[in-house]
Chains A and B, each alone.
Chain A
């Protein structure tokens, strides 16, 4: 089954404790992206990657890191999480044209 998976689905952590949210897709997509979703603000792009070892900043990259060592994986790293990073996070992938983004199920993060 074609899908994007994220782990964990729910996470409660404390300020400053490094965490990684994993994202994996099995569709051989070149383009992968991370978004955060906050009430009233829609989806905002954090980082995206157009292929292995190619990453670029989206609209809200501060406080986040990503890597793309393999085509299928695109982890999101919060080196020192802060309460303003409490949000719902989605990973997505698509082919080069970006016409259809396939979203993962989401990761709900609470930073205390």
Chain B
């Protein structure tokens, strides 16, 4: 079956670095993406990995290891506005073309 696991909550201090892990079990893996969602808002796209390695976009980086079925989102120089929920999502492409989301990690950034 399909499953994604990520921590439910993470707390960090402003200015620090935090890593949110995501492990997945799925068929027809195509890629791993990350979304940010503030309370009351819609998810917004952060990054996408189809190949192994690190993708960097400003303060955010995302990593994928296909052989380990594992990825992470790295947030550097944390700011208060980074307090939000972060979702990993797996794109499947076998007989279907689904997008499966994890249950989300709530990040709280403290001053």
Contact = CB atoms under 8 A, between A and B. Distances in A.
Contacts of B31: 98-99
Contacts, number: 57
A58 B2 CA distance: 12
Contacts of B43: 43, 90, 92, 101, 103
Main secondary structure of the interface of B (DSSP, over half): strand
B97 A42 contact: no
Contacts of B89: 43
Interface string B90-111: 0100001111111110000000
Interface string A24-42: 0000000101010000111
Nearest 10 pairs of A and B residues by beta carbon: A42-B103, A103-B42, A43-B101, A99-B48, A100-B45, A42-B101, A98-B91, A42-B104, A103-B43, A105-B42
Interface of B: 2, 30-31, 33, 35, 42-45, 48, 50, 87, 89, 91, 96-104
Interface of A: 31, 33, 35, 40-45, 48, 50, 56, 58-59, 90, 92, 98-106
